[in-house]
Amino acid sequence: MSVTSRYREAWEGFWRAAPEEQGAVFWDAEPTLTVGIHLGLFEPHLADPSLAMVDLGCGNGTQTRFLADRFRRVVGADLSAAALDRAQHADPAGQATYRVLDAVEKSETETLHAEIGDANVYMRGVLHQAEPEDRQPMVDGIAALVGERGRVFLVELSEAAKPVLLGLAQSPTGPPAKLAPIFQHGIAPGEVADDAVPEYVRTAGLTVLAGGELPLTTTEFGPDGDRIVLPSKWLVAGRTS
């Protein structure tokens, strides 16, 4: 596998230890504040909304279930089997399907593409959690899923998020309760340069169709009682010929 066993084990440990209630994980915000907003930016660029929608890095499936209410076929894919166990448990009706996927291993994304055909892909805040050397292969895998007709929506923390996260992590009282487990399990977010994501996309053979900036909503609140939001950048990409 392309990802290290340490990285996989870190995610398994995180999801096994995380509380099960909705919103207990730092990024597990309500879909109306996350994917619901993103869809307003993504849907106008879908060349074929009938394609399968892949929620890549779906975690416990909160956003996946929202997508499954709106698209005919939705696949929640994640590196962590423990995360997918939670996603399936929270989806007893089987609105979506779920599978373990190492998106860095292109043969795995090619296999999924062979099963479902060209797909639209939604990925929120995954690249910055990957090892730097795995980021281009991950986007290459996304391009394999997209094929000729699909589109991808990527949203990532911007460079401006780094001082916000550092400030939270270095607080005199320690990091917020929902942020601390991320560091404790060795999956602390890394920085992705603002101009790197479009370059990954272009290198993978895709064309950036739209982009912009948005606050990325978390489930945590600061000492002042305000919800913590992080600066992010988004883009939509696909093949145009």
| pTM listed for this prediction | 0.93
Question: What stretch of H or E contains 108?
Answer: helix 106-116
pLDDT in tens, 76-126: 999 999 999 999 999 999 999 999 999 999 999 999 999 999 999 999 999
Spatial distance between the Cα atoms of 136 and 140, rounded to a whole number of angstroms: 6
3-class DSSP state for residue 168? helix
Cα dist from 184 to 82, 124, 178, 181, whole Å: 17, 22, 11, 5
pLDDT in tens, 191-225: 788 999 999 999 999 999 999 999 999 998 877 88
Spatial distance between the Cα atoms of 148 and 66, rounded to a whole number of angstroms: 25
Cα dist from 2 to 32, 74, 79, 152, 199, whole Å: 34, 25, 11, 22, 21
